[in-house]
Chains A and B, each alone.
Chain A
Amino acid sequence: MKKRRTSLLERTASALDLPAQTVAGLPFLELTGDHELRIENHRGILAYSEEEIHISGGIYRIMVQGQSLVLRTMTAVELLITGQITAISLE
Chain B
Amino acid sequence: MAQLINFLRGNLTCSITAPFPERVLNLCALEGVLFWGLRWESQTSLTLTLPKTHLTQLTTIVQRLGGTINHQSAQGLPFFLARFRNRFAFLVGLTLAIFAVAVLSNFVLVIEVTGNERTSTAQILSSLEQSGLYLGVYGPSLSLTSLQQSAIIGLDDVAWLSINRTGTRIQVLVHETTKPPEIQSRDGVYDILSDVDGIIEQIQLHRGEPWVSVGDTVVKGQILVGGYTELPAPLYSELPSQWLPVHASATITARTWHTITAVTPLNPMLKTTQDHSKTSYQLHLFGKDFNILQNTSISPLGYDKIRTSTQPISSLPLAFSKITQQQITLTPATLNRESGQQLLQDCLLSAVQTKIGDVGEVITHEFVVKVVGDLLQVTLTAECIEQIGYTVPSAPMEGLAQE
Interface residues of A (CB under 8 A from B): 44-50, 70-76, 79
Of the residues B23, B29, B30, contact of A79 by C-beta under 8 Å? B29
With most chain A CB atoms within 10 A of its CB, the pick from B32, B36, B39 is B36
Of the residues A50, A70, A74, contact of B35 by C-beta under 8 Å? A74
| Cβ A44 vs Cβ B28 within 8 A | no
| Cβ A71 vs Cβ B25 within 8 A | yes
Q: Which residue of B lies closest to A42 (CB)?
A: B29
5 A-B pairs with CB atoms under 8 Å apart are A44-B22, A44-B25, A44-B29, A45-B26, A73-B36
Of the residues B22, B32, B35, contact of A48 by C-beta under 8 Å? B22
| Cβ A44 vs Cβ B40 within 8 A | no
| Cβ A76 vs Cβ B30 within 8 A | yes
Residues of A within 8 A of B29 (CB): 44, 74-76, 79
| Cβ A48 vs Cβ B28 within 8 A | no
Of the residues B22, B26, B32, B38, contact of A70 by C-beta under 8 Å? B38
A-B contacts at CB below 8 angstroms, number: 38
Interface of A is mostly: strand
Residues of B within 8 A of A49 (CB): 40
In the A-B complex, list the 10 residue pairs whose CB atoms are closest, starting with the nearest.
A44-B26, A45-B22, A74-B29, A71-B38, A76-B29, A76-B30, A45-B25, A73-B36, A75-B29, A48-B22
In the complex, besides A48-B21, A73-B35, 9 extra interface pairs with C-beta distance below 8 angstroms are A44-B25, A44-B26, A44-B29, A45-B22, A48-B40, A70-B39, A74-B35, A75-B32, A76-B30
Interface residues of B (CB under 8 A from A): 21-23, 25-26, 28-30, 32, 34-36, 38-40, 46
Residues of B within 8 A of A70 (CB): 38-39
A75 to B40, CA, bound (A): 18
Min C-beta distance of A34 to chain B, whole Å:
20
| Cβ B25 vs Cβ A74 within 8 A | yes
Min C-beta distance of B160 to chain A, whole Å:
65
Residues of A within 8 A of B36 (CB): 72-73
A86 to B25, CA, bound (A): 24
Of the residues B22, B35, B39, B46, contact of A46 by C-beta under 8 Å? B22
Q: Which residue of B lies closest to A69 (CB)?
A: B40
A30 to B350, CA, bound (A): 97
A23 to B38, CA, bound (A): 32
Of the residues A50, A74, A79, contact of B40 by C-beta under 8 Å? A50
A44 to B25, CA, bound (A): 8
Q: Which residue of A lies closest to B23 (CB)?
A: A44
Residues of A within 8 A of B26 (CB): 44-45
Residues of A within 8 A of B21 (CB): 48
A49 to B44, CA, bound (A): 11
A50 to B41, CA, bound (A): 10
A74 to B35, CA, bound (A): 7
Q: Which residue of B lies closest to A77 (CB)?
A: B29
A76 to B22, CA, bound (A): 14
Residues of A within 8 A of B23 (CB): 44
Min C-beta distance of A46 to chain B, whole Å:
6
Q: Which residue of A lies closest to B27 (CB)?
A: A44
A76 to B27, CA, bound (A): 9
A44 to B22, CA, bound (A): 8
Given the known A-B contacts A49-B40, A50-B40, are A74 and B28 also in contact in the complex, defined by CB atoms under 8 Å? yes
Residues of A within 8 A of B34 (CB): 73, 75
| Cβ B22 vs Cβ A47 within 8 A | yes
A76 to B25, CA, bound (A): 10
A75 to B27, CA, bound (A): 10
